[in-house]
Amino acid sequence: MAESVISATSITKSFGATRALRGIDLDVERGEVLAVMGPSGSGKSTLIHCLAGVLAPDQGSVRIDGTEVTALSADARAQFRLHHIGFVFQFGQLLPDLTAADNVALPLLMSGVRRREARARALDGLDRLGVGPQAMQTPGDMSGGQAQRVAIARALVAQPPVLFADEPTGSLDSVAAEQVLGAMLEVVRDSGTTVVLITHDARTAAHADREVIVRDGALSGVGSVAHSVPGRAR
């Protein structure tokens, strides 16, 4: 039986009178790429925020890599995220005044890694994502696709067991989106990183191992992705 690196049980979350999540159960296997789809306002972003410990659910539990995240204090959850979880957002959220190398090194420095080692690991991460030549550039000097690759390198530089990616190619044109997604998935599959990927795009979801659909705060569909992806072993 495959090992679940993420296990959520009976997750509920409300904002005032609005029930955002309605008792969700979800397991994600180690090394799996899971696509989470659903219309705007369906609860999919709230779901990954609860899974990642950014939000505390009203009821239910979440375990990540053996740790019951929902039992931790807010400060302890923040420390857990720093060491165990990577995040990629739609617009990258790079620090504009830092070079690519410094942006990528930042999570390592925050974790206490020595500057020389952090820089070496940052440069290696940029190379793996195909943006080594942009190491000394600031985000304003890069294309959108290059900047998003830097953001992915930053999310993965500490080798987290889990990566949450919220519309990571949503701000890119179709060609750049395909290239960035391919680069990200090549790195995470090589490292065995578990990925939870929010997307509204069926072409993006086609690269996942499995997809779930969130509607009105509940899972309305769970199954294997039936699409054929070039270069993927099925």
pLDDT tens per residue, range 136-168: 999 999 999 999 999 999 999 999 999 999 888
Q: Which residues touch 56 (CB under 8 Å, ≥6 apart)?
A: 50, 70, 74, 77
Domain ranges of the chain: 4-224
- What are the Cα distances from residue 15, in Å, to 2, 46, 51, 58, 219? 35, 10, 17, 10, 19
Considering the domain 4-224, what is its CATH architecture?
3-Layer(aba) Sandwich (3.40)
Q: What is the pLDDT of residue 105?
A: 97
- pLDDT one-digit tens code per residue, 116-133: 999 999 999 999 999 999
Model confidence, pTM: 0.88
227 close to 201: Cβ distance less than 8 angstroms? no
> What's the rounded Cα separation, in Å, for the pair 38 and 20?
13
Per-residue pLDDT tens over the stretch 31-65: 999 999 988 889 998 999 999 999 999 999 999 99
